[in-house]
Amino acid sequence: MSTVVLLVITGLGLGALYFLVASGLSLIYGLMGVLNLAHGSFLTISAFLGWEVGRRVSDGTWLGLAVSALVGIAVGAIVAALTEYLLIRRLYERHIEQALVTVGLSLASVALFEGIWGTDPIYTEKPDWLGQTTVILGAKIPNDRFLLIACALLVLGGIVLFLRRTRYGLIIRAGVENRSMVTALGIDVRRSFTLVFAIGGAAAGLGGVLSSVYYGYVSAHLGSTLLIFAFIVTVIGGLGSLTGAAIASVLVAVLQQFANFYLGGTGDLVVVIALAAVLLVRPRGLLGKVA
């Protein structure tokens, strides 16, 4: 029983990280049809800069972590918005070129990060409480899981409120459904493209800082690893569906944990099989719109 509880809550924590990456991927794809393969770079640069600033302010404390998180969010938003504005904007509807540019950016950025911060993981400090455990139903749960889950829920709630309650949210929801009709109502939909990149980048930036807490290190490859699973989550959830991404994040991560524990470390394989199964049975994903 305690093992099951541990696996579920750890899965939820990991799912939270997936969601922070997948939410942006899904929104960006839903609105613009862009598969943003550079999304992992937004995460990695945010993790590094968040760590650099946070440890100088106060290493291994809540204050330091809060500063890291804020820096990570800001860096993610700015880098993503700049990427959209300078590179992707010129390439809308040109899917091959988009893929090339975003893949290139992601490879180049990993090389750049390795040049600056080296190829080995750099171990990070975190507030003591996050390194301790809490006993739930007999299971000793590492406390950082709770932080991840709480942050992902806040982000989910924040994005949902933004989409439901603001004019930009309205434009984005309409644009996901029928972009050209939005422009035909006199709305410059491109402005919301930049905004969606910024929001997705901010979530990924927070994800970067939190993944350094979860893994205990920062590394130039942090983003690439999470990006793969976030993509799987996005496809399973249904490209363009935020709720789908949230549900699929949890399903994938929990499945992965259970397979790793009970099926001899086959978590990644099982996730890929699950992806194939979903694509066969329901090609548009759990909650995706009809393609």
Partner 1 sequence: MSAPILTVRRLSGRIAGQQVVENVSFEVPATGVTALLGRNGVGKTSTIRSILGLIDRTGEVTLDGHRIDRLPTHRIVQQGVGYVPEDREVFGSLTVGENLRLAERDDRPRRDFVAQLFPDIHDRRAQRAGTLSGGQQQMVSLARALVNENRLLLVDEPTKGLAPKIVDEVAVALAEAARTVPMLLVEQNLHVIRALADRVVVLSGGRVVFTGEAADLLDDEDRIQRYLGVHDADAAAEGSSR
Q: Which residues bind partner 1 (CB under 8 A)?
A: 167, 170-171, 173-174, 177-178, 180-189
Nearer to partner 1, 55 or 289 (CB): 289
Q: Are strands 217-218 and 122-123 parallel, antiparallel or unpaired?
A: antiparallel
Find the shortest distance in angstroms from Cβ 185 to partner 1.
5
Q: Which is nearer to partner 1, 180 or 264 (CB)?
A: 180
Task: Between 184 and 280, name the residue whose CB sits nearer to partner 1.
Answer: 184
Q: Among residues 280 and 290, whose Cβ is nearest to partner 1?
A: 290
Q: What CA–CA distance (Å, rounded) separates 169 from 161?
A: 8
Which is closer to partner 1, CB of 90 or CB of 140?
Answer: 90
How many alpha carbons lie under 13 Å from residue 284 in its C-beta half-sphere? 8
First to last CA, the chain: 42
Least separation in angstroms between residue 232's CB and partner 1 is 25
Q: CB of 32: closest distance to partner 1 in angstroms?
A: 16
d(CA 273, CA 276): 5
Measured from the CB atom, is 92 or 117 closer to partner 1? 92
- Angle, to 10 degrees, between the axis of helix 189-215 and the axis of helix 39-58? 60
Contacts of 138-145 with C-beta under 8 Å, sequence gap 24+, read 138/1, 138/2, 138/5, 139/1, 139/2, 139/3, 139/4, 139/5, 139/6, 139/9, 140/2, 140/6, 141/5, 141/6, 141/9, 141/10, 142/10, 144/13, 144/213, 144/214, 145/9, 145/10, 145/12, 145/13
Closest approach, Cβ 287 to partner 1, in A, equals 12
- By C-beta, is 56 or 164 nearer to partner 1? 164
Whether 106 contacts 38, CB under 8 Å: yes
CB within 8 Å of 153: residues ≥ 6 apart: 16
CA 148 to CA 6: how far, in whole Å? 15
Find the shortest distance in angstroms from Cβ 11 to partner 1.
30
- State in angstroms the smallest separation of the CB of 279 from partner 1: 24
